[in-house]
Amino acid sequence: MHCKNILPRHPLALACLLALSILTTPASGMAANTAPDSGLHHYRNLFAEAGHSQKEIRLKIDGAFRQLFHGDRTNQTVYYSAGANSSGPLAYITDIKHNDVRTEGLSYGMMIAVQLDQPSVFNALWNWSKTYLYVNETNHPSFGFFRWEAQTNGVPMSQFVAPDGEEYYVTALYFAAHRWGSGKGIYDYQAQADELLSRMRHRDLISGEFVWQNTNRMVTAGPLFDADHKMVLFSPSSERNRFTDPSYHLPAFYELWSRWGPPEDSTFWRKAAAASRNYFPRVTNPSTGLNPNLANFDGTLLTMLYRGSTNFSYDAFRTAGNWSVDWAWWGKDLRERELSDRLQAFFESQGTNYGCQFTLDGRVLEKRHAQGLVAVNAVASLAATNPRARNFVEDLWNTPVPDGKERYYEGLLYMMALLHCSGEFRIW
């Protein structure tokens, strides 16, 4: 069951609603024109708008999924079956380049599966996640969450949590509950989502010792969101130097959590969505629209030594997609449209074969034309107003499905971008 578009379609009605917008001015200086809480849920088909037939679009989506999930094991697929246990079949998605498994990829895979009505793929990935990455030990700093990295045989490589995985897990589980209905045990999708979401907000601080960078260290960790700033943390184990990752900010999801999650946290998630919308203009460069990989809660750059944290790099690819989907689904903050226009203007200035890593003021650090960045720049067209946006959609259309050693991250961003740009990435 899809949520329906409840915003009046008549242009005069739309104009009246926009006239009632609430104007706020954040620290960035970019005026926030906040539309009413209409709940757009508008699934634009950018490919169709560009002149492609529905048959062509269906073939492109199905072909990309077939290659990335069921293609040649040596050069195409990122999805691998891994036997079964008492809960059923197991499967993982692997980062080919680094030969590991990450909650990022598993949760992205589950989201793709629920959007494409692939319950067997969804369940196998969720079973692998719960079997090998979920932390059951109540005295462990990551208790109730998922270790973010493991070997393909399930042996953990990290004891830490990367909250972007939990964010996608929760939303994919809610979608699965609404699309397919909840089952039993780990397949009670609604209960699993509620429990994980509640822990993301409330879990107690837990201290424990484990090996980190070849030494035994005492680590303390708690919830995945900072209660004061209403923002997702880069890591809950960074309590002494708390900061965030702009690409982890998913206000479109937070709006859903405020409606579907535990009622006592509804207000918090609404405020978290608003905090992220205010954060995007603060953390992006006012000329290029580029954002850093990591940043402080006020949008300033980190002074600590995290390699590449102050540059636009791989994590940062995703941020424009986050604010653009938020605009498409909720239409609450017109600044998201300005941000997409600014970012696309920058990449247009770089030519058709632009690089993939930059300083925030636009100096090229890596010249490789990354398919994943091409994909997200097309998703930015969901919010963009300038006619150049169609060129970015067409660039994605003409980009082949990623293969080879870069196919994990590039491929998953590509697959989700096809769904976003075809109107097939929906609220269930």
Is 90 exceeded by the pLDDT of residue 404? yes
What percent of the chain is predicted at pLDDT more than 70?
Answer: 89
Average pLDDT, integer, range 406-422: 98
155 and 298 belong to one structural domain: no
Distances (CA, A) of 199 to 73, 171, 270: 37, 14, 17
281: left (phi over 0), alpha (psi -120 to 50) or beta: alpha
Is residue 233 in some structural domain? no
Element (H or E) spanning 64, and its range?
A: helix 54-70
**Cα distances (Å, whole numbers) of residue 325 to 76, 121, 134, 400, 421:** 28, 24, 29, 23, 10
Q: Which of 194, 226, 258 is the last residue of a domain?
A: 226
Task: Check residue 70 and give its pLDDT.
Answer: 98
Please state, in angstroms and as integers, the Cα–Cα distance from residue 251 to each residue in 259, 402, 412, following that order.
13, 28, 20
User: Sorting pLDDT into bands at 50, 70 and 90, what band is 52?
Assistant: very high
Does 162 fall in a domain?
A: yes
Dihedrals phi, psi of 20, to nearest 5 degrees: -90, 10
105 and 42 within one domain:
no
Number of domains the chain is built from: 2
- Residue with the bigger pLDDT between 119 and 6: it is 119
Cα separation, 187 vs 200, whole angstroms: 20
* Nearest-10 Cα torsion for 279, 40, 255, 287: -10
149 and 184 housed in the same domain: yes
pLDDT digits (tens, 9 = 90+) for 137-148: 999 999 999 999
Q: What is the pLDDT of residues 59-76, one digit of tens each?
A: 999 999 999 999 999 999
Report residue 308 CA to chain centroid gap: 20
One domain, residues 50 and 167:
no
Which residues lie below 8 Å from residue 413, measured CB to CB, with a gap of 6+? 317, 318, 321, 371, 372, 373, 375, 376
Domain end, chosen from 226, 254, 276, is at 226
Residue 406 lies in a domain: yes
Name residue 133's amino acid: L
Contact 384, 341 (CB under 8 A): yes
Spatial neighbors of 116 by CB under 8 A, at least 6 apart, are 61, 65, 419, 424
Tell the residue number behind the tokens 């080879």, with chain if given.
404
Residues 119 and 188 in one domain: yes
Read off the pLDDT of each residue in 308-324 and give the average, rounded to a whole number: 96
8 Å CB contact between 20 and 36? yes
Residue 232 lies in a domain: no
In this structure, the answer to whether residues 392 and 373 fall within a common structural domain is: yes
What are 320's two structure tokens? 């424009």
102 with 184, same domain: the answer is yes
Is residue 123 helix, strand or coil?
Answer: helix
Active site residues: 104, 315
Distance between CA atoms of 7 and 268, rounded to whole angstroms? Answer: 25
Residue 63 covered by a domain: yes
Rg (CA), the chain: 20
Q: Are residues 133 and 198 in the same domain?
A: yes
Does any domain span residue 137? Answer: yes
Q: Does 236 fall in a domain?
A: no
**pLDDT above 90 covers what percent of the chain?**
85
Query: DSSP letters of 352-383?
Result: TT--SEE-TTS-EEE----HHHHHHHHHGGGT
Residue 239: what pLDDT? 60
Instruction: Give the global pTM.
Output: 0.91
Supply the pLDDT for residue 42: 76
Question: What mean pLDDT, rounded, does the chain reach?
Answer: 91
The residues near 71 (Cβ < 8 Å, ≥ 6 apart) are: 77, 403
* Together in a domain, 68 and 50: yes
Write down which residue in 164, 198, 226 finishes a domain: 226
- For residue 206, the tally of other CB atoms under 10 A from its CB is 18
pLDDT reading at 350 higher than 90:
yes
Regarding whether 93 and 47 lie in a shared domain, the answer is no
Residue range 215-262, pLDDT digits in tens: 888 999 999 999 999 999 999 987 667 999 999 999 999 999 999 999
**pLDDT at 122 > cutoff 60:** yes
Which residues form the domain of 202?
A: 78-226
Q: Are residues 381 and 364 in the same domain?
A: yes
Q: Can you give the CATH number for the domain in which 143 is found?
A: 1.50.10.10
C-alpha neighbours within 13 Å on the C-beta side of residue 49? 16
Query: Each residue of 162-198: pLDDT tens digit?
Result: 999 999 999 999 999 999 999 999 999 999 999 999 9
CA dist 292 and 315 (Å) reads 8
Are the C-beta atoms of residues 386 and 398 closer than 8 Å to each other? no
Cα 405 to Cα 403: distance, rounded to the nearest angstrom: 7
Q: Examine the pLDDT at 12 and tell me if it is beyond 60.
A: no
- Residues 211 and 150 grouped into a single domain: yes
On whether residue 231 sits in a domain, the answer given is: no
- Please report, to the nearest 10 degrees, the dihedral formed by the alpha carbons of residues 162, 167, 172, 174 taken in order: 140
Instruction: Name residue, tokens 């150049």.
Output: 388
User: Residue with structure tokens 């036997």?
Assistant: 83
